[in-house]
Amino acid sequence: MKSQEIRKSFLEFFQGKSHSIVPSAPMVLKDDPSLMFTNAGMVQFKEFFLGNSVPKNTRVTDSQKCLRVSGKHNDLEEVGHDTYHHTMFEMLGNWSFGDYFKEEAINWAWELLTHKFKIDKDSLYVSVFEGSEEDGVGLDTEALEIWKKIVPEDRIIYGNKKDNFWEMGDQGPCGPCSEIHVDIRSPEEKAEKPGKELVNADHPQVVEIWNLVFMQFNRKADGSLEELPAKHIDTGMGFERLCMVMQGKQSNYDTDVFTPLITEIEKITNSSYGTSEETNIAIRVIADHVRAVAFSIADGQLPSNTGAGYVIRRILRRAIRYGFTFLNTKEPFIYKLVDCTKSQMGEAFPELVKQQQLIENVIKEEELSFLRTLEQGLVMLENIVTQSKDKEISGVKAFELYDTFGFPIDLTALILKEKGYSLNIAEFEAELKKQKERSRAATQVSSGDWEEINEVDEDAFVGYDQLETQVKIAKYRKVETKKQGTLYQIVFTKTPFYPEGGGQVGDKGYLTSGEEKISIIDTKKESNQIIHFAKKLPQNISGSFTAVVDASARTKTAANHTATHLLHQALRHILGTHVEQKGSMVQPNYMRFDFSHFSKLSSEEIEKVEQFVNDRIQEGLQLEEQRNIAYQHALDQGAIALFGEKYGDSVRAIRFGESMELCGGTHVKNTADIWYFKITGESAVASGIRRIEAITGDAVKEYFTKQTELLEEVQGLLKNAKDPVKAISGLQDENADLKKQVEALLKDKTKNLKSEIKNEIQEINGIQFLAKKVDLDAGGIKDLAFQLGGEIDDLFLLFGTEQKGKALLSCYISKELVETKDLNAGTIVRELGKYIQGGGGGQPFFATAGGKNPAGIPEALKEAKKYIE
Ligand SMILES: [Zn+2]
């Protein structure tokens, strides 16, 4: 069975058991403060397990794209070394939200694997939770009894808490699980050692394929467990691994999920999978990583230096580095694999098809820049080696190279080894550990249990219509943060506060009752509940309060949000419909908008865009809001949806004239409320992605006031010239003339100096020698030396000069001397550099050294003679 059919059969099997098929959620998470990537199928359903929302369907099935770069087996640096772990993978799952439980979950899993997929029963092992004394939970007899009816008892394994108890995090829903393992070894190997002994022992051919999690407990902050009122099923089956088993392969990379990619890599890099372990690892790394990177970019996450973007950059750079080191690729090539990835996965994940060009551009640009880094790193490493006094290179130096320039440590080690040097790896590890501790300390957070007081209202968010409302506290908890110290997270029964999301900042404001007033410093959304952040709790926690949003900030933010929609419309109108939104940031005093477009905007284009938006503002377009319409219905009306965004069945559509978008943000009632739109910046974020920064309303007033002040200041400097532009261009012309004159004078000076110097050259041992302090800049000295070299044979020159408090030594040696007398200008300046407290280098016939001690120049000049005596 082909991989595409396997995915389809899985989903159809559960559809036949009354499950609805739901699409994969984005792999990159946008508005979840606790997680950067979807790392398991359950992430998009967290809110149902936590009881924060009620699901429309209690039985669903899906194939979720996941990314893991940390954890026991998914440490990024390990992926590719074995044949069954990945960064990006698909997780097939079936879900029950308070519907069926263990009986159905177990029986259906067995039916699917052994009847529909025809996997040999005798190659399967199952596990049940043996219980845990510290948690006061016994053996999972319920699961055991069900399994006993379908599997011989000697194929049932009793697993401990580590293997058979699943937890969402330190706190929250959890429960025992049953894993299904498969033994795909040859009959001979099976006869030698029973598979049962190899379960959970990291054997590549005895692997877990499906985990059935029975969520029945809630883990509290103090570590104790309580029974959940509604019990859930969460199952996860690794798609790539299932394909391996069903296609009778020994490695995930031998299935048709990966073979087309591997063939393509072999073709492009002129290598061959299977020839050596190094080549195999490199090819697996690249095949795995290109998928992870392509899907992330399709979800709107570009490589960058922070957060999720940094993870993507590290993954991509790792692939580049394996290609560079083991497949000898010195040119970008990974972007060429996107086409193959698209052919493989495009049907199930259409975002790859739609965004292919962007993905290729971004990867290619990143490849080019990292290959440059690698080249530079090689030069710097060369310098480190030349300057090293012994054969061991310091780990601190290697860490600098790694940390500041992104030069990979394994490459450093490899190159040093080739040169006969060793690396102090312990020193490097120590530096790395220090850095990790620094970043961990910066982010560490701990949180207490939620104290529940009241139920949250059904439609808790009232902020589209109200900026203040009467509320009670539904629940709260205390959290410790590094940056802000102790904070309280508070959930109200209902709230006018907009939680950060869709690029728009969270509302600020206060909570008040009588004399008491508590500031709300931020609002965020987590697992579908709106969390308000405060530095303290109100005295009477169970009382009634007025929740009041900072209206001035909200009004300004709304103006900026509406402006992003009009800007989006303007860009598509003026540049073309290839423009896709790639991110936005909407604050009270500022907005920015990232979008796909392949060249810099000209000033005419910027003007047109600005004009277009301001025309819409002038038209005074009324807000038309449809709060609960069907997703498909909204699209049919022409609403724009964004890639990498998760939409429910029912959505909110925002229209201003011809602009219509799916959006959860807050907006002005009429575009006239924006007052004026002004672009303040246009730049590149990445290849094929541009960024526009802009302001509206009061911020524009301030902007124009500042511009006027600036102009007045310039006029002041120009002695109130009537036409400042003319005055400045006059100054520029004058400056250019003066520069020319200075250059001519310097040339004359060099000429005079040259004839003066010619008279001073002495012959020593057949060498024309001069060591002299001169008053010229570096360029002048070089010119002079080469001119003299062209006229005089067997020449040895050493010039010293002092410029702005720094010393410079320049050494010129005729080529014939370099060869016959074994002289080397590079070595000489390096050695003489110590007199001026500096160093340098260059070629054997010309080299320079800079230093910070001009007083040492005479000594250096005096020492020069010893090289020819
Ligand atoms: Zn919006």
> What is the Cα–Cα distance from 522 to 507, expressed in whole angstroms?
6
Least confident of 25-34, 418-427, 580-589, 658-667: 25-34
- Residue 71: the pLDDT is 63
Tell me, yes or no, if the pTM score tops 0.75.
no
Express each pLDDT in 132-184 by its tens digit. 999 999 999 999 999 999 999 999 999 999 999 998 778 888 999 999 999 99
Q: Could you tell me the pLDDT band of residue 300, with boundaries at 50, 70 and 90?
A: confident
Bridge partner residues of 495 (DSSP): 461
Q: Cα(30) to centroid of ligand 1, in Å?
A: 14
Q: Cα(333) to centroid of ligand 1, in Å?
A: 37
Say what percent of the chain tops pLDDT 90.
65
pLDDT score of 646 more than 90: no
Q: Nearest-5° angle of CA 254, CA 258, CA 261?
A: 125
- CATH 3.30.930.10 describes domain 3-249: yes
Q: What is the mean pLDDT of residues 242-271?
A: 95
pLDDT score of 868 more than 90: no
DSSP H stretches of helix in 665-696: none
> What is the Cα–Cα distance from 623 to 668, expressed in whole angstroms?
7
- Residue 483: the pLDDT is 81
Q: Cα(521) to centroid of ligand 1, in Å?
A: 23
pLDDT score of 410 more than 90: no
Q: Could you tell me the pLDDT band of residue 693, with boundaries at 50, 70 and 90?
A: very high
Q: Could you tell me the pLDDT band of residue 488, with boundaries at 50, 70 and 90?
A: very high
Q: Cα(186) to centroid of ligand 1, in Å?
A: 57
Least confident of 235-249, 391-405, 544-558, 674-688: 391-405
Q: Cα(830) to centroid of ligand 1, in Å?
A: 61
Q: Cα(133) to centroid of ligand 1, in Å?
A: 51
Q: Is 115 annotated as a binding residue?
A: no
Average pLDDT, the chain: 91
Q: Could you tell me the pLDDT band of residue 441, with boundaries at 50, 70 and 90?
A: low
Q: Cα(614) to centroid of ligand 1, in Å?
A: 18
Q: Cα(431) to centroid of ligand 1, in Å?
A: 44
- For residue 409, which amino acid is it? I
Least Cα distance to 63 among 191, 321, 243 occurs for 243
Q: Cα(534) to centroid of ligand 1, in Å?
A: 27
Q: Cα(678) to centroid of ligand 1, in Å?
A: 19
- CATH 2.102.10.10 describes domain 446-549: no
> Which stretches of 663-716 are assigned E, i.e. beta strand?
677-686, 689-696
Q: Is 561 annotated as a binding residue?
A: yes
pLDDT score of 444 more than 80: no
Least confident of 122-131, 489-498, 549-558, 750-759: 750-759
Express each pLDDT in 68-91 by its tens digit. 987 655 678 788 988 888 999 999
Q: Cα(267) to centroid of ligand 1, in Å?
A: 44
**Domain 554-706: CATH architecture, name and number where available:** 2-Layer Sandwich (3.30)
- Residue 603: the pLDDT is 95
Q: What is the mean pLDDT of residues 220-237?
A: 91
Burial letters for 710-730: b for 16+ Cβ neighbours within 10 Å, e otherwise?
Answer: eeeeeeeebeebeebeebeee
Q: Which range is most confident: 93-102, 347-356, 835-844?
A: 93-102
Which residues are CB-contacts of 62 (< 8 A; sequence separation ≥ 6)? 11, 21, 22, 23, 24, 41, 92, 93, 95
Q: What is the mean pLDDT of residues 831-843?
A: 89
Sign of CA dihedral 625, 630, 635, 638: negative
Q: Cα(564) to centroid of ligand 1, in Å?
A: 7
Express each pLDDT in 305-343 by its tens digit. 778 888 899 899 999 989 998 999 999 999 999 999 999
Q: Could you tell me the pLDDT band of residue 509, with boundaries at 50, 70 and 90?
A: very high
Q: Is 203 annotated as a binding residue?
A: no
Q: Cα(473) to centroid of ligand 1, in Å?
A: 29
**Domain 761-867: CATH architecture, name and number where available:** Roll (3.10)
Task: Say if residues 303 and 313 touch (Cβ distance below 8 Å).
Answer: yes
Q: Could you tell me the pLDDT band of residue 825, with boundaries at 50, 70 and 90?
A: very high
Q: What is the mean pLDDT of residues 821-839?
A: 90
The number of CA neighbours under 13 Å toward the Cβ of 362 is 31
Task: Say if residues 718 and 727 touch (Cβ distance below 8 Å).
Answer: yes
Q: Could you tell me the pLDDT band of residue 533, with boundaries at 50, 70 and 90?
A: very high
For residue 112, the SS3 value is helix
pLDDT score of 475 more than 60: yes
Q: Cα(490) to centroid of ligand 1, in Å?
A: 26
pLDDT score of 405 more than 90: no
Q: What is the mean pLDDT of residues 104-127?
A: 96
Q: Is 565 annotated as a binding residue?
A: yes
What ranges do the domains of the chain cover? Answer: 3-249, 258-380, 388-443, 446-549, 554-706, 761-867
Sign of CA dihedral 573, 575, 578, 579: negative
Q: What is the mean pLDDT of residues 29-40?
A: 82
